[in-house]
């Protein structure tokens, strides 16, 4: 079974959201369009939509997280779902020898409807999706080096709100491509949505061998790669996943690949700067850029709630029929 077939139900609607790979433009556009209906919920005095009232969503975060975990919790609560976040460090899996499958089956017996999973092993979300009861949806909140589909979609949502037409854009993804699940999901999303040109910029030691087969142009010089781009997506240097010395030092990396105001000037004057977080200031980006007028980093965080609301509602078969319903 392909990834896309696993993720869709018999009617071709979203059931699991595990990876961008394999999806067509229709599904991705539907997520973005539905997110528009939820985008203003956070600014309402009553930050609630009734779509998932009576549903139970369980957050299973085997890795640490701030933005992703919080925005998933807020998204579920704003859809009026009941939310349970399992403290994995204090769970029977971590301390009493319980298997992952036994834990999942016990949660199923509590009549849960969705698992949001973040795990350090690539493929963990797919494994869980293949073993849960048919009525349960699984959302991948990041698995190893493999995928982070909701991060990619909130970034696509942010780009579309600023630039409208993907076909006219040049987008540069800069940094630790080798270890980044975000980069992989971004590339699949951008190419599926018909982006004019996708560039990746990194030292040779941080570029996956087959990345050019994904339809991107590879650059090793930051200034050359940024020339005339519309969107700059910076990536965190993921020291915790590196094996061996892949860069001389953080200082040297910042000198060559850190985004400064001087280097950003090679992009178009109205280019936007993005970062999935957490930001390492002075390593991949300087504060003057991260906090500057071209930065949309905090917008990404806000947009993450709307996109995750859209994905959750779609996966559980509840889409807003009208703007009024989404913002009720």
6-32, pLDDT tens digit by residue?
999 988 999 999 999 999 999 999 999
Give pLDDT, residue 138: 98
CA 197 centroid distance within chain: 20
Rounded CA-CA distance 248/184 in Å is: 24
Complete domains list, the chain, with CATH: 3-147+302-326 (3.40.50.1370), 149-296 (3.40.50.1370)
Reply yes or no on whether the pLDDT at 187 is more than 90.
Answer: yes
- The mean pLDDT of 76-102, rounded to a whole number, is 86
Angle, vertex CA 281, rays to CA 277 and CA 286, nearest 5: 110
**325: pLDDT strictly greater than 80:** no
Residue 133 has a pLDDT of 94
pLDDT range class, residue 290, cuts 50, 70, 90 = very high
What percentage of residues in the chain have a pLDDT greater than 70?
92
Task: Write the CA distances from 265 to 58, 95, 203, integer angstroms.
Answer: 44, 52, 21
Confidence of residue 327 (pLDDT cuts 50, 70, 90): very low
pLDDT value of position 48: 87
Alpha carbon distance 87, 64 (integer Å): 11
Phi, then psi, of 268 in degrees rounded to 5: -65, 150
Per-residue model confidence (pLDDT) at position 323: 39
Enter the pTM of the model.
Answer: 0.91
| Chain centre to alpha carbon of residue 73 | 15
Q: Centre a 10 Å sphere on the Cβ of residue 65 and count the other Cβ atoms it contains.
A: 16
Confidence of residue 179 (pLDDT cuts 50, 70, 90): confident
pLDDT grade for 318, boundaries at 50, 70 and 90: confident
* Torsion of the alpha carbons at 99, 104, 109 and 110, rounded to the nearest 10: 120
What mean pLDDT is predicted for residues 80-92? 85
23-50 burial: b if 16+ Cβ within 10 Å, else e: beeebbebbbebbbbbbebeeeeeeebe
Nearest CA to 218 out of 188, 258, 174 is that of 174
Q: Mind listing the pLDDT tens digit for each residue in 222-273?
A: 999 999 999 999 999 865 544 444 576 888 899 999 999 999 999 999 999 9
Where would I find the H helices in 214-292?
222-226, 250-257, 261-264, 287-290
| pLDDT score of 28 | 97
pLDDT of residue 70: 95
Give the per-residue pLDDT at 299.
97
Instruction: Name every residue whose Cβ is closer than 8 Å to that of residue 250 and which is 6 or more positions away in sequence.
Output: 237, 283
Q: Report how far apart, in Å, the C-alpha atoms of 325 and of each of 49, 53, 117, 313, 315 are.
A: 7, 13, 28, 12, 17
Contact 248, 254 (CB under 8 A): no
Q: Report the mean per-residue pLDDT for the chain.
A: 90
Q: What's the pLDDT band for 47 if we cut at 50, 70, 90?
A: confident
Q: What is the pLDDT of residues 203-223, one digit of tens each?
A: 999 999 889 899 999 999 999
Q: When comparing pLDDT for 43 and 12, which is higher?
A: 12
Q: Under 8 Å CB-to-CB from 319, ≥6 apart: which residues? A: 34, 51, 313
- Rounded (10°) angle between helices 25-38 and 149-163: 70
Give the DSSP H/E element, type plus range, for residue 198. Answer: strand 197-201
């Amino acid at each position: 079974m392909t990834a896309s077939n696993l993720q869709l139900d018999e009617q071709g609607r979203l059931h699991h959201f595990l990876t961008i790979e394999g999806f067509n433009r229709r599904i991705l556009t539907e997520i973005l369009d539905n997110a528009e209906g939820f985008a203003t919920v956070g600014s309402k005095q009553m930050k609630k939509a009734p779509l998932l009232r009576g549903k139970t969503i369980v957050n299973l975060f085997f890795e640490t997280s701030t933005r992703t975990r919080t925005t998933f919790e807020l998204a579920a609560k704003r859809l009026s779902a009941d939310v349970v976040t399992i403290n994995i460090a204090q769970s029977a899996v971590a301390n009493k020898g319980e298997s992952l499958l036994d834990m999942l089956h016990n949660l199923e017996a509590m009549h849960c409807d969705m698992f949001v999973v973040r795990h350090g092993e690539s493929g963990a979300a797919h494994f869980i999706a293949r073993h849960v009861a048919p009525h349960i949806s699984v959302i991948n909140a990041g698995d190893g080096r493999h995928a982070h589909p909701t991060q990619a979609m909130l970034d696509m949502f942010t780009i579309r709100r600023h630039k409208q037409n993907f076909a006219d854009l040049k987008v540069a993804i800069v940094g630790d491509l080798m270890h980044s699940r975000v980069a992989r999901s971004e590339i699949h999303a951008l190419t599926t949505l018909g982006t004019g040109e996708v560039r990746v910029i990194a030292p040779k030691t941080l570029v996956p061998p087959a990345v050019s087969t994904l339809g991107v142009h590879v650059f090793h010089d930051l200034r050359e790669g940024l020339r005339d781009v519309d969107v700059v997506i910076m990536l965190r240097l993921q020291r915790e996943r590196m094996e061996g010395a892949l860069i001389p030092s953080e200082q040297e990396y910042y000198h060559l690949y850190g985004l400064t105001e001087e280097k950003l000037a090679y992009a178009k004057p109205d280019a936007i700067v993005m970062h999935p977080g957490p930001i390492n200031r002075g390593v991949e980006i300087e504060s003057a850029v991260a906090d500057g007028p071209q930065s949309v980093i905090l917008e990404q965080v806000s947009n993450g709630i709307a996109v995750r609301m859209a994905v959750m509602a779609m996966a559980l078969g509840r889409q807003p029929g009208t703007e009024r319903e989404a913002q009720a």
